[in-house]
Amino acid sequence: MKTMEGFNGLFTIVWCVWMCIILCHSSLGVDAARVREYDFHVGYFYKSVDCVQGAIIGINGQFPGPTIRAEVGDTIDVAVTNKLYTEGTVIHWHGIRQYGTPWADGTASISQCPINPGETFHYRFKLEDAGTFFYHGHYGMQRAGGLFGSIIVDLPEGQKEPFHYDDEINLMLNDWWHKSASEQELGLISKLESFRWVYEPQTYRLRITSSTSFVSLNLAIAVDGHYVEPFTVDKLDIYSGDTYSVLLNTDQNPNQNYWVTVGHREYNVSTTQALTLLNYNIISASILPSVPPPVIPPYHDYVQRKAFVKKIVALEGTPQPPEYSQRRVLLLNTQDVINGYMRMVINNMSLSLPGTPYLGAIKFGITDAFDWRAPPESFPAEDYNIYAPPPRNLDAFIGNRVYKFEFNQVVDVILQNANGFAKNTSIIHPWHLHGHDFWVLGYGEGKFKDGDDEKLFNLKNPPLRNSVVVFPYGWTALRFRANNPGVWSFHCHMEPHFVTGMGVVFAEGVEYVKGIPAEALNCGQTRDYMLLNKKTHY
């Protein structure tokens, strides 16, 4: 990626449009202590993010929230106080595995109860991996309302990265809307006659919500906290939930300025790309480049998109996947109208989370807290036409069933994309798995064919990730080991899709989970259980 140097943390915004490119300078300091404590007050305040003032959700009056910077081995203790007054909240620490602390994952109704208005909940967890991560709200549409921030985890003192750089800039990219988070959610959960996608005309959309680190000298890429083989690019496709850390070569003519552009690559959306300048500080930052800005590739340029992700392979020395899996789950991504509501559907089920967190319900054996029946493991692959809208006899249902894995079991998940409710409509879905990293074994066209398509799996150097994309009318294969006791969400990271049911829940080794703080489960039927037992940890 060829650009320029002498940033000094300075980016010049050329004009103010709805998109925002956010530099995160604000860091809650790094010190020698191994336990790093923070106070996060989540609340609404007014701010002009894109030249239009509105109410946003932030932390301690900041947007984006404060950057957390620490080292591998450190323990993070964040006291989150909910000052929203009318709604609950939780914070998910995206990319942090939470091994041994599944209740700190920050997923409402899965790992914990929502934090009620006025209440404080302590997230306490250990950092195991170096890399670029981020945190965000995981309750309703609060991430879209501004509840997110950056996490940077350095190697311990004395250890070095496998590449050299001189300085770094932490750059968060985010989409921004003029609709409030609550208004967006209302449009998504309304009956079909009032249903509104977030990107209806007169509103705006940029698909990217990620944190990225740009540094100088050489070029390498780290993906979701893991190193990959270096390759040169002049642009990145960053899907919702992705994190990249790239090295930026600074060998260009310092006597001119250079464009940096961010634009959406979403279906059926038309809006101006965001522009800023990279400047060597030798000339004025007010001088525009002599060439036009780069052109954002069209959304339907899937050839370029697929070529990019297929270049991402693990750096030599990265753990390889087990040669064989012990279980396979085939997940069909589609869409249907259920009881008059437009819903996203996975294997006929549209996820609706229960009022009692799964972690406590399974741990305590509360059999009527959710539907304990097994969800569908696959779909009728031979008969199902992925190129046509779902048949009217699909029998889709709204449910809350859980995929239960044996502890330490090796699991393959095949994400199969298909046509949505409307004809000739299939879009990209970025999926994120909580609590684990997985190996991306491969991508394919059309309907996954058992046996034949397995021959395309990359078992030599597949990248380790926690998020992955599935392309229209195609499939993506991943493999992971179910070795983190707890209950974990696996879902499309596009918030409107998750809110309308595009997710599943995985559970493994819950019997081995110890030390759950009572305040994590102080709702629903787990609250009744704890009132009877009167313990502080379970």
pLDDT of residue 445: 93
- 145 vs 368, more confident: 368
The residue written with tokens 């199902």 in the block is 384
End-to-end CA distance of the chain: 50
pLDDT digits (tens, 9 = 90+) for 66-92: 999 999 999 999 999 999 988 999 999
C-alpha pair distances (Å), 515 with each of 408, 507, 519: 21, 17, 12
**Encoded tokens for 376:** 């569908």
pLDDT per residue over 282-315, tens digit each? 888 888 888 888 777 777 778 878 888 888 887 8
Highest mean pLDDT among 26-30, 105-109, 158-162, 256-260: 105-109
pLDDT at residue 369, rounded to an integer: 95
For the chain, domains (ranges, CATH) are 33-162 (2.60.40.420), 164-314 (2.60.40.420), 327-527 (2.60.40.420)
The pTM of this model reads 0.80
pLDDT tens track for 421-448: 888 888 888 899 999 999 999 999 999 9
Question: With left for phi above 0 and alpha for psi between -120 and 50, is residue 224 left, alpha or beta?
Answer: left
Asked which of 115-124, 232-241, 357-366 is least confident by mean pLDDT, the reply is: 232-241
> Is 476 within 8 Å of 309 (Cβ atoms)?
no
* DSSP secondary structure, 452-517, as one string: TGGGG---SSPPEESEEEE-TTEEEEEEEEE-S-EEEEEEESSHHHHHTT-EEEEEE-GGG----B
